[in-house]
A and B are shown apart, each in its own frame.
Chain A
Amino acid sequence: NAGVTQTPKFRILKIGQSMTLQCAQDMNHNYMYWYRQDPGMGLKLIYYSVGAGITDKGEVPNGYNVSRSTTEDFPLRLELAAPSQTSVYFCASSYQADNNYGYTFGSGTRLTVV
């Protein structure tokens, strides 16, 4: 199994451009998450989804949008990129029948906004 796959691995955007970070999982996990990790910091939750068609905001949702049309995919959209969005983005998934499951993380997308 591939686990959680994120694309692209690296991207440079100009201020004001838009892009979509892709995330796909093949473990039939119902919960999916997007985090950002700023240099020297922990991970901050951007958005999460408890199943197809359901999304919710995390700690730092401003400037981002998500959708969950299928169980497998959870893309993250940046509409108007800003330098403050320079970060490493991690997607994660879990099978959350209860809270006793850790997350499986993707390998991350390093985004630079210039």
Chain B
Amino acid sequence: AQKVTQAQTEISVVEKEDVTLDCVYETRDTTYYLFWYKQPPSGELVFLIRRNSFDEQNEISGRYSWNFQKSTSSFNFTITASQVVDSAVYFCALKNNDMRFGAGTRLTVKP
């Protein structure tokens, strides 16, 4: 069975702080894909990143970075120097035949 766990329901930080959103997944498949999506207050879902199970290289995109560790089945997301506009719900997802989402982490960045 496929499962994604985002243990942090809500996180609140002050602007310019760094914050890490945790994601732990379960799957019996050897080939799979991991995703992060952002859902701002307006409600749409915005694709942030995908990573396949054979590529454990970490990735950095501006203030965003992702740490993928197969040994711990984790795919954590870090925002450096957070900004108010980062306030959103962030979803981690695991995909093989279909995409299964975690429950999401609500991030609030206060000015």
Give A contacts to B, CB under 8 Å. 33, 35, 40-45, 48, 58-59, 88, 90, 92, 99-105, 107-108
When A100-B33, A105-B44 are in contact, do A42 and B98 touch as well, CB less than 8 Å?
no
* Known contacts A99-B33, A102-B35, A102-B50; is-contact A45 B99 (Cβ 8 Å): yes
Specify which of B6, B9, B43, B103 is in contact with A108 (CB 8 Å cutoff): B43
A89 CB, min distance to chain B CBs, angstroms: 11
Smallest beta-carbon distance B79→chain A, Å? 19
Cβ-defined contact, A88 with B43, below 8 A = yes
Report the bound CA distance from A41 to B102 in whole Å. Answer: 8
> Which of A33, A40, A104 has a CB less than 8 Å from the CB of B98?
A33
Q: Is the CB of A42 within 8 A of B44?
A: no
Number of A-B residue pairs, CB cutoff 8 Å, is 50
> How many chain B residues touch A (Cβ–Cβ < 8 Å)?
24
Tell me whether B47 and A99 are in contact (CB under 8 A): no
Contact between chains at B98 and A48 (CB < 8 Å): yes
- B77: interface (CB < 8 Å): no
Distance of A61 Cα from B32 Cα, bound (Å) = 24
Q: Which residues of B contact A33 (CB under 8 A)?
A: 98-99
For the complex, what is the distance from the CA of A92 to the CA of B13, rounded to whole Å? 31
Please give, as numbers and ranges, the residues of chain B lying within 8 Å of A41 by CB-CB distance: 103-104
Q: What separation, in Å, do the CA atoms of A42 and B44 have in the docked complex?
A: 13
- The residues of B that contact A107 with a CB separation of less than 8 Å are 43-44
3 nearest A-B pairs in the assembled complex, by CB-CB distance? A42-B101, A105-B45, A42-B103
Identify the closest chain B residue to A38 (Cβ): B103
- Which residues of B lie under 8 Å from residue A105 when comparing CB positions? 44-45
Q: Which of A35, A88, A90, A103 has the most CB of B within 10 A?
A: A103
Instruction: Tell me the complex Cα distance, A104–B50, Å.
Output: 13
Residues of A contacting B44 with CB < 8 Å?
105, 107-108
